[in-house]
Structure formats: C-alpha cells, structure tokens
Amino acid sequence: MWKNIDELNRHLVGCCRCPRLVEFRQRIALYKVKRFRDQDYWGKPVPGFGDINAELLIVGLAPGAHGSNRTGRVFTGDQSGSFLYEVLYETGFSNKPCSLCPGDGLELRNCYVTAVVRCVPPENRPKREEIENCMRFFDAEFALLKNVRVVVTLGMIAFDTFVRYLREKGMWNSETVPRFKHGERFFFGDRGVLITSYHPSRQNTQTGRLTKGMFLEVFLAAKDILS
C-alpha cells in the first residue's frame, strides 16, 4: 500500500477514523496537565520509531496521554518509556538510557518500536473496532520491516492483537490460541519468535508485577535469539 515507512507515517498522522479517539487525544492536547502547560502537545496519531532494518520489533498498546500524545514519539516522555529505554540501552538496543523528546539524540539499534493503537484511548482501553481500524497501519509497517525475527509484545492486548493478526495472515504455527503469560515464547512464520511481557506501565512497575530484572530477561532472551 505504501512504499516506505516515511510515506506510511505521513498518512498515519492524518488519520481520523475513530471519532472517540480523535476527540480524546485533542482534548488532552488542549487542556494538558499543569507540569506540561507551557508545552505544545502532539495530539495526533503516533508513528513507530527506530531502525527500519531491525530484527527486533516491540509492540506496545497505545500512546500515553502525557507521554507520546505530548511528544509525538512512541514511548517517549513518561515513566513507561523511561522503563523501556533504560532496559533497551542496557541490552544494546539503544544508544541512550532515556527518552525525553524527539531530537534528543536517541537512536535504536536493530530495534523498532510501535503500537497496536496509534491514538491515546480513554483509560488505556481501546475498543475492538478502534484496534481493527489501526491494523491497516500495523499490517503495512510489519510488511515494510522485512528483517524482523523477534517480536516482543507488551501487555495482553498487544499480545492478543498480534496473535490474531498472525492467524489471519496464516503465520501462526499452531491450531491453539495461547493465553497471555509473561516471558513465554512462541514460534510464527518461517523463523519468527514471539516473546511476551507485561506492559511497563506505572501500574505494573510500581506494584512489582513487572520488575526491571524481569524486563531485562525478556530483552536478553531476544538478544540471545538474534545472536
């Protein structure tokens, strides 16, 4: 459909298919929060980010209200992003341990980050039809990222959505549909490996449901597979 990632992203940022999400992302960008009141919010769909030749693909849920919806770069500007990029740095997939804003010098190495929904949803809960509306972008993105061998899904919704996508494409190597469990591995396609992880949300990291050690293990496993 689109020839390259840049062309895809130009169409993506102009998408208005989901009225509920459009209204919500724009309302957040207008009213902001006190600590960011002097900043201009992105307030549009958020593209993927990283190395277009990457072998590792990370699939999250959706932009954070005052993170990606503010900065315009996936997993950037909030605690979830800080948790993710610190671990990517320690495992060699990033040149820096922090993610503040586009233009801060952050580069991903052999890694690309995206999400199943590109607009911030109320209460971080997108509707099924909103996920399906966004899948045309994911489908095109996945096709353009031709070197992907390992996919890490962050959270149950990202996992369920990616498995459903693989089944629809005939790339799921089993007749059974697995349940989400942190740290599991599954094979897909000719040589793909799917690794599951809890999402690095504040709800998970501050309660200890997802520790840094657990998250490190996921990306060390990905690194080991790729090496």
Sign of the Cα torsion 116, 118, 122, 127 reads negative
pTM equals 0.97
Both tokens assigned to 131: 């996920």
Label residue 114 by pLDDT band (50, 70, 90): very high
Q: What is the tens place of the pLDDT at every residue in 155-206?
A: 999 999 999 999 999 999 888 888 999 999 999 999 899 999 999 999 999 9
Both tokens assigned to 60: 């999250």
Label residue 143 by pLDDT band (50, 70, 90): very high
Q: From CA 107, how far away is CA 96, in angstroms rounded?
A: 7
Looking at the predicted structure, is the pLDDT value of residue 30 above 90? yes
Q: What is the tens place of the pLDDT at every residue in 64-105?
A: 999 999 999 999 999 999 999 999 999 999 999 999 999 999
Position 174 scores a pLDDT of 84
Give the chain's domains with CATH numbers: 5-226 (3.40.470.10)
- Average pLDDT over all residues of the chain: 96
Looking at the predicted structure, is the pLDDT value of residue 127 above 90? yes
